Homo-oligomer: A and B are copies of this chain.
Amino acid sequence: MLKTTPKEHFLVQIQFVEEKQEFSRFPTKTGRRSLSRSISQSSTDSYSSAASYTDSSDDETSPRDKTQINSKGSSDFCVKNIKQNEFGRREIEIAEQDMSALISLRKRAQSEKPLAGAKIVGCTHITAQTAVLIETLVALGAQCRWTACNIYSTQNEVAAALSETGVAVFAWKGESEDDFWWCIDRCVNTEGWQPNMILDDGGDLTHWVYKKYPNVFKKIRGIVEESVTGVHRLYQLSKAGKLCVPAMNVNDSVTKQKFDNLYCCRESILDGLKRTTDVMFGGKQVVICGYGEVGKGCCAALKALGAIVYVTEIDPICALQACMDGFRVVKLNEVIRQVDIIITCTGNKNVVTRDQLDRMKNGSIVCNMGHSNTEIDVASLRTPELTWERVRSQVDHVIWPDGKRVILLAEGRLLNLSCSTVPTFVLSITATTQALALIELYNAPEGRYKQDVYLLPKKMDEYVASLHLTTFDAHLTELTDDQAKYLGLNKNGPFKPNYYRY
């Protein structure tokens, strides 16, 4: 079971052969995943910059074969090198500076200890940012055991720093598939400690517990899941009547969605294009396929920098929005010969076909901001008459027989994950959402949550937002009693009906 980029988990098909594939209808950035056990090419990208401090040590010994103890005498962990903990601590401290929302939550709730008694087993990327999350959970009273959801993304020093302070971490950069499952198992299967909460990213931990430790699973008080894939798997379990535990889908929280898609992509499209191609945006003709949140972000950024932007859409409502925002809505074929850049953001497949690539201008750029690596038909370019020339990391020139070059970025995988970085602030939104979801599920009165998959309550969603306002020195207005009564609202929220569109 091998992992790739944050949102691109691959399901372990072997465990789910009985499950019918049913699509969850999310035409968002991260739509449907292909179900495959093989290691995808993208699995080697992972987190370019996030892990950049972690130089590959010369030490070739597998952590599983080492005996390490931390300064407190504990050896209940398995990381690359416990001695790297000081460097990791510094990384965590720097991350804390950009994650004031979590620190603030830590301070506000520290005396209440809302997670006292919680035994959380977690499976996420292990980075400085998740370390801030984990240490927040501990500060709020939880005991934590942790493993990585991706075999490449672990920052070894951070894993060491966490282990040094007593969190049982089982993870290192460059795990084998066997290591991956071994680490998960070591988190769950330990003497004298039984998890009662799960925090998962991708669903592997959840399914390991579900399959291997059904008795543990039944006693779990709540599962929090943040990925499209993991959520999809939970809905499948639920549909099959096998989800005997309340679960919370934090992927679809309002705040998280806006930041993952609109706000993040508005910046990463520029960053990804510049870092790879140094292209000048002014005056360029760009077509953006898909006007969802990701497309809206890309369009706004490029228009603001002087590009002429066209939009393609299948949905008339989104198309009308594009019109009102000042973009011509066209079919790709209408502009394919004139555009300098194509960006796909549809969640669909074969949005750019070989036939269209054949008609593009010399020097034009093709990239994907949508999902997976299906949007551009890259496979169709791997034919003998075309020459591929790798000119930089993540940048290929595909050369036609007549000399025409098309510049393909990240081989059609996600540009924002492959060639840009996810800002800490966006990760802070996600981590805070996860923390609040854990608190909510752990403290909910019996019966509030049944054996089903829930969205984060709007009030919690609003709380995530409010914790992040201080970063911007933003000051909320409070309703007077009289106003609250007039509006029929509670002064502390929630302030909107569930269907509100923001």
Enumerate chain A interface residues (CB-CB to B < 8 A): 22-27, 31-32, 49, 97-98, 254-255, 257-258, 263-264, 266-267, 270-271, 274-275, 278-283, 285, 289, 300-301, 303-308, 312-332, 334, 338, 347-350, 362-363, 374, 405, 420-421, 423-426, 461-463, 465-466, 468-469, 471-480, 482-483, 486-489, 493, 495-502
The answer on a CB contact under 8 Å between B363 and A27 is no
Docked complex Cα distance between A285 and B473 (Å): 10
The answer on a CB contact under 8 Å between A331 and B278 is no
Docked complex Cα distance between A226 and B32 (Å): 37
Docked complex Cα distance between A258 and B374 (Å): 32
Copies of this chain in its oligomeric complex: 4
Docked complex Cα distance between A465 and B324 (Å): 12
* New A-B contacts (14) at CB < 8 Å, excluding given A306-B325, A316-B469, A329-B476: A257-B501, A258-B324, A267-B281, A285-B473, A308-B328, A314-B479, A315-B495, A315-B496, A316-B462, A316-B465, A319-B476, A328-B473, A332-B477, A349-B482
Docked complex Cα distance between A421 and B180 (Å): 41
The answer on a CB contact under 8 Å between A323 and B477 is no
Docked complex Cα distance between A426 and B275 (Å): 17
Q: A27-B495, A283-B323 are in contact. Are A473 and B338 (CB under 8 A)?
A: yes
The answer on a CB contact under 8 Å between B23 and A321 is no
7 pairs of residues in contact across A and B, judged by CB atoms under 8 Å: A254-B317, A267-B282, A283-B323, A301-B304, A317-B462, A349-B482, A350-B480
The answer on a CB contact under 8 Å between B497 and A316 is no
Q: Which residues of B contact A501 (CB under 8 A)?
A: 254, 257, 501-502
Docked complex Cα distance between A264 and B420 (Å): 21
Q: Which 6 A-B pairs have the closest CB atoms?
A: A23-B488, A304-B304, A329-B474, A316-B466, A283-B323, A316-B465
Q: Which residues of B contact A314 (CB under 8 A)?
A: 476-479, 495
Docked complex Cα distance between A143 and B170 (Å): 68
The answer on a CB contact under 8 Å between B326 and A487 is no
